[in-house]
Amino acid sequence: MKKILLILFMALSQFGNAQDLYDINSLREITIKFYDPDYHQTLVDWFNADDGSRLPATLEVDGVLYDSVGIRYKGNISFLLAELLETPKFPLNIDMNEYIDDQHLMGYKKLKLGNLFTDPTCIREAVAYEIYRKYGVAPKSNIIKVNIGIVGEEASYYGVYSNSESINKDFLKEHYDWKRGPLVKCDPNPAAEDITCDSSGLGNGTGGEQVIALPDLVWYGPDSCQYYSNYEMKTDYGWKELVEFIDLLNHEDSLLYDHLNIDGVLWYMAVSMVIPNLDTYFGKNIKNYYMYKHKDSLWHMIPWDVNETFGGVMGNAHPDWDILKWFNSNEPNRPLIWQILKQDRYFKQYFAHIRTVIEENYNEEYIRTRVDSIQHLIEQAVMHDPYKRFEDEDFRNNVDQDVTDPDLAFLSYHKSIIPTMNERLEYLMDHPEIMKIPPTLMNTSRSIEEPEEGQDVWVTAEVTNATKVDLMITTNKVYASYFEPFEMKDDGLSNDGAAGDGIYGALIPFQALDEKIKYYVRAQNAEAMILEPRRAEYEYFKYKIKATTSTNTEKALDRGKLWSIYPNPAKDFINITGDLEGVNAIKIYDSTGKLVEQLVHPLGNSISTAHLSSGFYAVSFLTDKGVVLKKLLLTH
């Protein structure tokens, strides 16, 4: 019986993997058939006229036929190459919902297929996205076989395409659990080139002169019309929000923390600079990223179109590209980089992330293993591709050798993956900032694995060579953002063992039922920083506070719900609303867990806080039932 159950489990697991449209270890095949025999010319004409219309077609995958999907051509260089070379293998944008609501392919409503005309190895995009996804939100990607034809006729094999996840509402819901915020594609928008703007700044798009530029996040004035050619708004609203953010970035950068997921930007920049990917905001070409504003008020930066990584084409073969290239207050085109990195905390955090990306990914054994694995899977499909641009031997050769472009002199050659990586690694390891020695940080643990309501939870970590250690905490329920620092100490008073023993401790000042705690540890010295987990803030430690096993929990909790503290933040005093009958004591702890104030059998509802220094404090109520409930207090 056990053997039968094991076989059934294995079969179900394989079936589940087979259903993943973007499984990097699977090579799926799809067949597209158009109803219009002249589909190709129609789609080319529509693309060149910037007409977003789609032609109806059937789509078949794994024996399942979808009789109505909408298809158009997409791309930039990849489209121009296909048109210039008069090949039918154009990049495709497939909408499963164009004609039938809620139709999807294995849970996805859109497919974006690239023709791989700028990558002899066919795998740069899939490998790059795999690395990006270790440290932040990024699309999934793999390779897919495509057949194309006319309904009623046999389809022809068109070769292999890159298959990268679309950044749309479904993507936002999956990664941010909210899909209604403004979504901006940060690429030059040719459709807006003919729009003129009102110099009065009213944004009515009449008169004046249009500013044409790249999506550089530079301030061009309050009129949203000035940004239409630089960005493409993918949602029904958002121009006002985008312009407000650009204004804040350029003129009120001290407020960035409340309006930007800064750590997400640092991870995006770190990966881009290591692998390297210079076809981004951080490289030579300012494009190929998305901005999304979450309901937590933060803008998030998302990578897109990463097929020119590891050398790639179009001038991306720069193994010594400066990782601080745009860190210059006089650099007019990259305000985001300067405004973040000029702060010491984020400067150190950026290089901490770079060290992590290098350590976890950037060595020949790892990259070659990933490249070989994917290439082995797709090799025969590539060899039989009737429209491939490169010679068969270039598919493997470009891993270790530069490949000359067969058609276009301006592309010159395609830099090899492994030598580019090794040259880049040599540059990185010799960089003076990367050579700086961060603290050591390990063995982060908490005193209670599954805390109950009202219990004190202490976090400890082993740290050496640090001048400052912080416990970074957030209770943001939807997305892990707004981490706040709470100082960790090695003073023998912070649940840390003996003073000076290298064990640092701090109290987590949250104890309410169902509170979701996310935290990590940050250690730094004058030169460098380190985090645990190393992939923080994208990864973190977490737990949820459970109900106490005490039989008096419900009554105590009901009384606790009636208590509130105001003003909060406070300065000279706090007022407590609610019935204090049965409260034996009120205690105030600082962020290290040290008791700084205790009122036994409090007689009044007002407590002086004038003597407390600025910071976070936990206010505890010891009830007559022996249950401690805490509320957070922030003083100016």
Lowest-pLDDT choice from 152-156, 245-249, 252-256: 252-256
pLDDT above 80 (res 108)? yes
Residue 291 in contact with residue 186, Cβ under 8 Å?
A: yes
pLDDT at residue 193 greater than cutoff 70 = no
What type of residue is 546? Answer: K
Model confidence band, residue 3 (pLDDT cutoffs 50, 70, 90): very low
Q: CA–CA separation, 134 vs 520, rounded Å?
A: 17
Strand partners, 302: 290
More confident residue, 113 or 307: 113
DSSP states along 279-337 = SSTTSSS---EEEEE-TTS-EEEEE---TT-TT-STT---TT--TTTT--TT-TT-HHH
What pLDDT is attached to residue 625? Answer: 58
* pLDDT (average), residues 226-251: 96
Which residue has better confidence, 406 or 627?
A: 406
| Residues making up the chain, counted from first to last | 636
Asked if the model's pLDDT at residue 141 lies above 60, the reply is yes
Residue with tokens 């309901």: 295
Compute the average pLDDT of residues 403-426.
Answer: 86
Quote the pLDDT of residue 319: 80
State the DSSP string of 15-30: HHHHT-TT-TT--EEE
* DSSP-assigned letter for residue 438: P
Kindly report the number of other CB atoms within 10 A of residue 42's CB atom: 17
Question: If pLDDT is split at 50, 70 and 90, which confidence band does 338 have?
Answer: very high
pLDDT, mean of residues 215-243: 95
> Higher confidence at residue 15 or residue 497?
497
pLDDT band per the 50, 70, 90 thresholds, residue 522: very high
The residues with which 66 forms a beta bridge, in sequence order, are 59
Return the pLDDT at 185: 97
Distance (Å, whole) CA 616 – CA 606: 19
Distance between CA 468 and CA 527 in Å, rounded? 12
Tell me what pLDDT residue 482 has: 92
In the block, which residue shows the tokens 């293998």? 89
Q: Which CATH number fits domain 440-544: 2.60.40.1120, 3.40.1030.10, 2.60.40.10, 3.20.20.140?
A: 2.60.40.10
Q: Token pair of 63, please?
A: 């024996």
Q: Residues 224, 229, 232, 235: what is their CA dihedral angle, to the nearest 10 degrees? A: 30
* 322 confidence band (pLDDT: 50, 70, 90): very high
Range 335-354 average pLDDT: 97
C-alpha 310/C-alpha 419 separation (Å) is 9
The set of residues, in sequence order, having a beta carbon less than 8 Å from that of 528 and lying 6+ positions away, is: 348, 351, 352, 436, 437, 438, 439
Task: Check residue 191 and report its DSSP letter.
Answer: G
How sure is the predictor about 65, in pLDDT bands with cuts at 50, 70 and 90? very high
The one-letter amino acid at 406 = P
User: Any idea what the Cα angle at residue 353 is, between residues 351 and 357, rounded to 5°?
Assistant: 115
pLDDT of residue 594: 75
Pairing of strands 183-186, 232-233: antiparallel
Confidence band of 19 (pLDDT split at 50, 70, 90):
low
Same fold yes or no, 440-544 and 553-635: yes
pLDDT at position 95, please? 97
Alpha-carbon distance of 93 to 90, in angstroms, equals 10
312-321, 498-507, 567-576 — which one is most confidently predicted on average?
A: 498-507
Residues 363, 357: Cα–Cα separation, whole Å: 10
Residue-averaged pLDDT of the chain: 87
Helices and strands in the chain: count of H runs, count of E runs: 13, 28
Sole residue written with tokens 């770190």: 270
292-313: pLDDT as tens digits: 999 999 999 999 999 989 987 6
**Which structure tokens are listed for 583?**
């409260």
- The stretch 628-634 carries a mean pLDDT of 60
Distance (Å, whole) CA 303 – CA 129: 8
What CA–CA distance (Å, rounded) separates 34 from 44?
14
Statement: residue 515 has pLDDT above 50: yes
Mean pLDDT of 33-38: 97
The pLDDT of residue 395 is above 50: yes
- pLDDT confidence bin for 632, thresholds 50/70/90: low
pLDDT bucket at 562, cuts 50 / 70 / 90 = low
pLDDT digits (tens, 9 = 90+) for 591-619: 666 778 888 767 677 888 888 887 777 78
Taking 60 as the threshold, does the pLDDT of residue 559 lie above it?
no
- pLDDT at position 5 over 60: no
Report d(CA 167, CA 161) in Å as an integer: 18
End-to-end CA distance of the chain: 66
Chain CA centroid to CA 283, Å: 18
Of 195-204, 215-224, 235-244, 481-490, the least confident:
195-204
User: Hey, which CATH number is domain 553-635, 3.65.10.10, 3.40.30.10, 2.60.40.3080, 3.40.605.10?
Assistant: 2.60.40.3080
What was the pLDDT predicted at 241?
98
Q: What confidence score (pLDDT) does residue 269 get?
A: 98
**With b meaning 16 or more CB within 10 Å and e meaning fewer, what string describes 513-549?**
bebebbbbbbbbbeebbbbbebbbbbbbbebebeebe
Which of 199-208, 301-310, 424-433, 567-576 is least confident? 199-208
Identify the band that residue 351 occupies on the pLDDT scale cut at 50, 70 and 90. Answer: very high
The amino acid present at 580, given as its one-letter code, is L
* H helix or E strand, kind and range, residue 65: strand 64-73
Model confidence at 48, in pLDDT bands (50, 70, 90)?
very high
Taking alpha carbons only, the member of 80, 33, 73, 67 closest to residue 52 is 73
pLDDT band at 550 (very low <50, low <70, confident <90, very high): low
Q: Would you list the domain boundaries of the chain?
A: 21-169, 171-361, 440-544, 553-635
Angstrom distance (rounded) from CA 569 to CA 616: 9
Predicted confidence at residue 592, as pLDDT, reads 66
Model pLDDT, residue 311: 82
Q: What is the pLDDT of residue 581?
A: 73
- How buried is 451 (Cβ within 10 angstroms: 0-12 exposed, 13-18 middle, 19+ buried)? buried
Band of residue 548 on the pLDDT scale cut at 50, 70, 90: confident
Q: Residue 522 in contact with residue 537, Cβ under 8 Å?
A: no
Here the tokens at position 368 are 């070659």
pTM score of the predicted model = 0.84
Under a CB-based contact definition with an 8 Å cutoff, are residues 390 and 401 in contact? no
- In contact, 544 and 511? CB cutoff 8 Å: no
Q: List 414's β-bridge partners, or say none.
A: 403
What span, in angstroms and rounded, lies between the C-alpha atoms of 348 and 354?
Answer: 10
